[in-house]
C-alpha cells in the first residue's frame, strides 16, 4: 500500500460574490450570493514511502487545499484519502503523530520561549522517548548549525534560523512523512543549501517521504525526482523533471559563429520565419526557434543560405522557463509530446 493515497479527492468552497463598493456590501448583507469554487477536482494521487515529490502549480491551483486535506485540516467534499493507512481528517491526532509539517510563514515554535524549551514541549506533546529525542536533537543541531541560536526565543531569530528550527521541530518525533510549503523562500544561498542538504539526508537516510511545494527550481532539482503539476484543481503532469523539459519546453536556441558578417540575415530570417535572432558579436549570433515548428537542421540550413557557418552549438532547453510558465499558469499543454 502506498503511504499517501488519494482517490477522486475533491474539495469545493462556497465563495461570496459581492459587487464592488459600499452599495455592493450592503446588498450582499441582505441578499448574499455565493458561487461554488472547486479547489481540488477528483484528484488521484499515490506516493510511495521514501519518495520525494515536488507539488507545483500556479497561484490558486489547489496546492494548499490538497496539503490541508492530507494533513487533516480540511474535510474533503468527496473522494477518499489515506495517509499511512489512516484517514487524516477522522484521525487527526493519530495523523499528527506520523507527519511533520513546515508551512511557510507560520511557525510551530512558541514565540517567547527559547527554542530548546519549544523542543522539549514538543517532546512531551508527541511523547518522544528520551533516547530518540536526544539523538535527533544532537543530529539536527549539528546538521542545521543550530548551536548559535538554539538558546534564543523564536521571536529573536532571523528567517533562516527560524526555518531551520522549524524543520528540526517538525522532525523530532521521527515522522515517516514530511510536508514542506516553500521551505527555502526568502533565504540566502548558503542557508538554502544547508536546508536542502538536510532534507535530502533525512529523505535518503531515514526514508522519510517528502512532499513539498516550491517556486524554487533549485529545490526541485536538488530534492525531488518526481514532479507533480496541478492546475485548476487537477493534476496535469506527473513525472520527472527531465521529462517536463522534454515535453513542455518550447523554445530552442542555436548559437552560430560565421566566417563573415551576414547583413541580410536579421531582417529576412525574422520576417520570414518568426525565429528570433540575437547578435552576440560581429561574427556571432543566436537563433531562438519554436521546436514544434522547426527542426534544428532546418534552422541551420536556413542560416547557411546567408553565408558560411564556421561553427554552431545548440543550447539545452531552459527548464527555468518551463517551471516559470507553470507558475504563471501559461504552460501550454498542447505542446506535450505524446
Q: Which residues form the interface with ligand ATP (CB under 6 A)?
A: 13, 15, 37, 39, 57, 59-65
Taking the complex as a whole, how short is the minimal distance between the CB of residue 60 and ligand ATP, in angstroms?
4
Q: Is the dihedral of CA 119, 120, 123, 129 positive or negative?
A: positive
Q: Which is nearer to ligand ATP, 73 or 139 (CB)?
A: 73
Are the C-beta atoms of residues 179 and 70 closer than 8 Å to each other?
yes
Give CA–CA dist 79/186, Å, rounded: 36
| Residue closer to ligand ATP (CB basis): 61 or 168 | 61
Least Å distance, CB 108 to ligand ATP, is: 19
In Å, how far are 58, 122, 154, 172, 331 from 125, measured between CA atoms?
36, 5, 19, 11, 44
Closest distance to ligand ATP from the beta carbon of 36 (Å): 10
Which C-beta is closer to ligand ATP: that of 14 or that of 279? 14
Here the cell at position 200 is 535530502
Shortest CB 232 distance to ligand ATP, Å: 9
- Closest contact distance (angstroms) between CB of 62 and ligand ATP is 4
Query: Of 10 and 136, which CB lies nearer to ligand ATP in the complex structure?
Result: 10
| Residue placing its CB nearer to ligand ATP in the complex, 65 or 107 | 65
- For 158-225, list the strands marked E by DSSP: 177-181, 209-213
User: Residue 6: CB partners within 8 Å, gap ≥ 6?
Assistant: 43, 44, 45, 46, 66, 69, 70, 79, 80, 81
Question: What strands, in cross-sheet order, belong to the sheet with 251-258?
Answer: 276-281, 284-290, 251-258, 309-315
Rounded least distance, CB 235 to ligand ATP, Å:
12
Which of 66/174 has CB closer to ligand ATP?
66
In three-state secondary structure terms, 227 is: strand
Amino acid at each position: 500500500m502506498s503511504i499517501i493515497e488519494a482517490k477522486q479527492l475533491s474539495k469545493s468552497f462556497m465563495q461570496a460574490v459581492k459587487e464592488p463598493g459600499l452599495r455592493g456590501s450592503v446588498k450582499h448583507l441582505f441578499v448574499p450570493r455565493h458561487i461554488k469554487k472547486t479547489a481540488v477536482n477528483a484528484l488521484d494521487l499515490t506516493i510511495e514511502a521514501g519518495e520525494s515529490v515536488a507539488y507545483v502549480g500556479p497561484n490558486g491551483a489547489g496546492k494548499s487545499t490538497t496539503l490541508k486535506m492530507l494533513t487533516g485540516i480540511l474535510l474533503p467534499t468527496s473522494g477518499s484519502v489515506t495517509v499511512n493507512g489512516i484517514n487524516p481528517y477522522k484521525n487527526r491526532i493519530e495523523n499528527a503523530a506520523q507527519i511533520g509539517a513546515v508551512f511557510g510563514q507560520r511557525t510551530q515554535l512558541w514565540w517567547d520561549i527559547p527554542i530548546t524549551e519549544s523542543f522539549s514541549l514538543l517532546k512531551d506533546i508527541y511523547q518522544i522517548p528520551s533516547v530518540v529525542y536526544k539523538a535527533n536533537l544532537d543530529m539536527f543541531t549539528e546538521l542545521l548549525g543550530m548551536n548559535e541560536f538554539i538558546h534564543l526565543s523564536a521571536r529573536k531569530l532571523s528567517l533562516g534560523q527560524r526555518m531551520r528550527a522549524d524543520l528540526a521541530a517538525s522532525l523530532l518525533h521521527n515522522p515517516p512523512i514530511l510536508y514542506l510549503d516553500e521551505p527555502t523562500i526568502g533565504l540566502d544561498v548558503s542557508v538554502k543549501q544547508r536546508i536542502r542538504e538536510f532534507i535530502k539526508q533525512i529523505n535518503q537516510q531515514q526514508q522519510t517521504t517528502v512532499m513539498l511545494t516550491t517556486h524554487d527550481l533549485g529545490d526541485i532539482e536538488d530534492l525531488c525526482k518526481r514532479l507533480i503539476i496541478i492546475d485548476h484543481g487537477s493534476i496535469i503532469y506527473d513525472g520527472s523533471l527531465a521529462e517536463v523539459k522534454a515535453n513542455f519546453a518550447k523554445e530552442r536556441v542555436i548559437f552560430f559563429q560565421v566566417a563573415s558578417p551576414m547583413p541580410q540575415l536579421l531582417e529576412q530570417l525574422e520576417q520570414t520565419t518568426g525565429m528570433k535572432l540575437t547578435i552576440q558579436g560581429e561574427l556571432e549570433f543566436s537563433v531562438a526557434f519554436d521546436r514544434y515548428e522547426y527542426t534544428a537542421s532546418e534552422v541551420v540550413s536556413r542560416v547557411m543560405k546567408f553565408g558560411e557557418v564556421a561553427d554552431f552549438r545548440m543550447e539545452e532547453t531552459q527548464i527555468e522557463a518551463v517551471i516559470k510558465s507553470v507558475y504563471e499558469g501559461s504552460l501550454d499543454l498542447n505542446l506535450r509530446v505524446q
